[in-house]
């Protein structure tokens, strides 16, 4: 997804599922949004 985002210049919105740990959930959200996409909650 990151390579496609860099190659096309278009933001790709990843789908993610909340994790039980608030810290892990925050990390996963930030990791998935670092290239301009807005993660969509399942």
What's the sign of the alpha-carbon dihedral 19, 20, 21, 23? Answer: positive
**pTM score:** 0.64
DSSP assignment of 8-32: H------EE---SSHHHHHHHHHHH
Q: How distant, in Å, are the alpha carbons of 1, 5, 22, 35 from that of 26?
A: 19, 22, 6, 16
Instruction: Provide the domain count of the chain.
Output: 1
| Per-residue model confidence as pLDDT tens for the chain (42 residues) | 566 766 777 777 888 899 999 999 999 888 888 877 788 888
Domain that holds residue 30: 2-41
């Amino acid at each position: 997804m990151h390579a496609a985002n860099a190659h096309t210049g278009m933001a790709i919105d990843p789908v993610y599922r909340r994790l039980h740990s608030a810290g892990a959930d925050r990390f996963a959200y930030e990791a998935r949004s670092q290239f301009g996409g807005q993660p969509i909650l399942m």
